[in-house]
A and B are shown apart, each in its own frame.
Chain A
Amino acid sequence: EAGVTQFPSHSVIEKGQTVTLRCDPISGHDNLYWYRRVMGKEIKFLLHFVKESKQDESGMPNNRFLAERTGGTYSTLKVQPAELEDSGVYFCASSRNIDTGEQFFGPGTRLTVL
């Protein structure tokens, strides 16, 4: 069974540009989560999809961030326009059930905004 994959692994962009991150969850996992870790700090929850619906987007920092999950398969997270403070590692995770809290994580995308 393939794990959670994320693309790209690294992205370096300039302030004001747009970046789109992609996450492919484990097949059959209806739940998909996005997280962000700023250097040396906690991993912060951004949002949770159940299939194609946003179950909880309370962690999205502002309206420069847009997440989609068309068709309930892969998901994209777009940052437009990017700011310096958006730099960090963006993790995606998926799970089959939501009642245990156990999730399967991708390797993350390291975003650097210059």
Chain B
Amino acid sequence: GNSVTQMEGPVTLSEEAFLTINCTYTATGYPSLFWYVQYPGEGLQLLLKATKADDKGSNKGFEATYRKETTSFHLEKGSVQVSDSAVYFCALSALSGGSYIPTFGRGTSLIVHP
């Protein structure tokens, strides 16, 4: 079956540090890949996505590249801010039984200190 593995947190960084959150996946076929973010007290929001190999998703300074050869979709940001503190979920979506049901990772908590 499909699965997503992401690095355990929490990840604690100082403001303006470089961020990498690793995500690898196992899937049959050609899934779409997503990063969702959950800010405190809110629901998950789509951060970025990539639908095919070598696509790069980007939003709000975050980037992730769909690497089919390494089955990875690592999230990066060059300079984090305190406001980026949240839980980040990597997910894949593949056709199953006629619909696309996402498979999520466990989430990685990011804490950014001033």
Contacts and interface: CB of A to CB of B under 8 A. Distances in A.
A61 B2 CA distance: 18
A102 B46 contact: yes
Main secondary structure of the interface of B (DSSP, over half): strand
Interface residues of B, number: 27
Interface in A79-114: 91, 93, 98-108
Given A40-B106, A42-B106, A105 B45 contact: yes
A91 B43 contact: yes
A103 B91 CA distance: 11
Contact of A103 (B4, B97, B102, B103): B102
A42 B105 contact: yes
A106 B38 CA distance: 10
Interface residues of A, number: 30
Interface of B: 4, 32, 34, 36, 41-46, 49, 51, 89, 91, 93, 96-107
